[in-house]
Amino acid sequence: MAKVIRQSMREEIDALVIQNNQTRLDLLKLRAGSVLHADASVAVSTANATDLPSSEALANALQTSFNAHCASAASSSTGQGAHLAADATNAPNTTAAAVDLPTTEALLNALKTAWNAHCALTSSHPVADSTNTVSTANATDLPSSEALANAMKTAFNAHFASAFTYQAIQISPL
């Protein structure tokens, strides 16, 4: 049923914004297209892993991005946020920060496991994301750590970007 609006212009605008935001969430719930999120998450921009220091930096950046992404739930009033519901099952990932090769390997392997579980979570996404899972071998040395970190960055950024083209509308006071 159509929403009837018989009030001032400001109230009409407010009603339209609320309706637009609710529609965005409804589309997400109806599993429209290949959209996994209401809003895109910020891409991981840390440089690719090419040595131990860059592998440590990327592993730590991936953990920060993963935790922020999983915590982002779309608000029913503003329409802003990524998920139908926050992923409290796989995040926050509390593995120790990467400071040397063993901690880098441990962090990357833990993130890979949590990431693949997050992608499959249909309580957060309208459908499981089987496209952006990570199948790269676990980190066991520096070359495999570099390969895994770079593969995860690619997968994270593709998954994060799978969102509505237009952002929710929010009206600020004059």
Q: Is 15 contained in some domain?
A: yes
In-domain check, residue 23:
yes
Query: Domain for residue 174, yes or no?
Result: no
83-109 confidence digits (pLDDT tens): 888 999 999 999 999 999 999 999 999
The answer to whether residue 157 is domain-embedded is: yes
Residues 20-56: tens digit of each pLDDT: 777 777 676 555 546 677 778 899 999 999 999 999 9
Whether 73 is in a domain gets the answer: yes
Rounded CA-CA distance 83/36 in Å is 8
- 71 assigned to some structural domain: yes
- Let me know if residue 136 belongs to a domain: yes
Residue 4 lies in a domain: no
Range of the domain at 37: 9-161
Distances from the Cα of 7 to the Cα of 10, 11, 18, 113, angstroms? 8, 6, 15, 52
pLDDT at residue number 2: 45
What is the number of structural domains in the chain? 1
Q: Using CA of residue 55, residue 60, residue 65, residue 67, what is the dihedral sign?
A: positive
Going by the DSSP 8-state scheme, the letter that residue 33 receives in this structure is T
